Amino acid sequence: MILVTGTLAYDQIMDFPGKFCDSIMPDKIHMLNVSFLVDNLRKGFGGTAGNIAYTLSLLGIKCAVMGIVGPDFAAYQKFLKANEVDTSYVRIVNNLYTSQAFGITDNGDNQIWGFYGGADMMSDSLSVNDVQEKIDFGIIGPHNPRAMLKFAGEYKKKKIPYLFDPGMELPHLTGDNLKEAFTGARIIIGNDYEIKLMEKKTGITPLSKLSKQRKIVITTTGEEGSVVFEKEKEIRISPAKARNCSDPTGAGDAYRAGFLAGYLRKFPLKTCGQLGSIASAYTVELYGTTTHNFSVKDFERRYKENYGEEIRL
């Protein structure tokens, strides 16, 4: 079984028709007071765990999500179940709302986010040890930092390989926290900014040198694609062609799902990265993080269109 932990959240995503930089004065950043008039708002299902699990399921990988949510989770749970994501390890509490994410995207695809943790603030009371089924691989997405570190430690003790993605929680993790979580990780991933921040916090420069230790280190670079390191070998992944760019939100989570859909099938790492690029292209073409949909045959056809190779999932 593949176990996915991270946020399960309701997303509220807004579009700002201008550029943030036109409204922010760098020399006054210490006293910032701005308001952006948005022209689009969409509410939907999101969060790192939900996003990754949803796309994994579309790609034929059966998985379960684990987390804590509020009494308002019913609609999201119905959606996950309808898409064959196991929610039996999701605990509902009545005194807190499900996590909420509020994001504004400008016309340069820059984003400003606010995040309310809600019930996820209790997720460190969960334990990988309570999962009765055999866990073949764990995915630790950004959410409650205490839970992330706890799950990493439990996976390490059980010798279960896992992907570690600190993402938006990096400001709340120390260099020692990161180094401890890295020790048991099979895959470490982040965007180019996050990788630089991990290097700064840990003193491990470049972070890719961890690939000497049987780890895979991945840097995603948006429109430029991604770079995968294993055994200090650099594999550059060209981006897939998106038919349009409606909303970049969730592209990173889709990439992770696509990469893992290949990795768990023991495909070559270049193929895994290319699968990640295709998955992320589907996401940016639609507004929201779990609004895309595709059949496996559609995905295979699009993979061939972009990379000139046959793939069978």
The domain ranges of the chain are 2-22+36-299
- The closest of 290, 292, 310, 291 to 301, measured between CA atoms, is 310
d(C-alpha 274, C-alpha 22), whole Å: 35
Q: What confidence score (pLDDT) does residue 79 get?
A: 97
Q: Which regions of the chain are under pLDDT 70?
A: 247
- CA 121/CA 284 separation, integer angstroms: 29
* Residue 134 phi, psi dihedral angles, 5° rounding: -70, 125
**Which pLDDT does position 185 carry in this prediction?**
98
> 237-293 pLDDT, tens per residue?
999 998 887 767 889 999 999 999 999 999 999 999 999 999 999 998 887 889 999
Average pLDDT over the chain, rounded to an integer: 94
In CATH terms, the fold of domain 2-22+36-299 is UDP-N-acetylmuramoyl-L-alanine:D-glutamate ligase (3.40.1190)
Q: Supply the pLDDT for residue 88.
A: 96
Determine the pLDDT at residue 20. Answer: 93
* Sign, Cα dihedral of 195, 51, 130, 122: positive
In 3D space, the residue among 279, 218, 265, 277 whose CA is nearest the CA of residue 61 turns out to be 265
pTM of the model: 0.92
Give the integer Cα–Cα distance in Å for 9 and 120. 9
The residues with which 220 forms a beta bridge, in sequence order, are 191, 226
Whether a cis peptide bond, with omega within 30° of 0, leads into 206 is yes
Task: Quote the CA–CA distance of 307 and 296 in Å, as a whole number.
Answer: 16
pLDDT per residue over 177-212, tens digit each? 999 999 999 999 999 999 999 999 999 999 999 999
- The predicted pLDDT at position 110 comes to 86
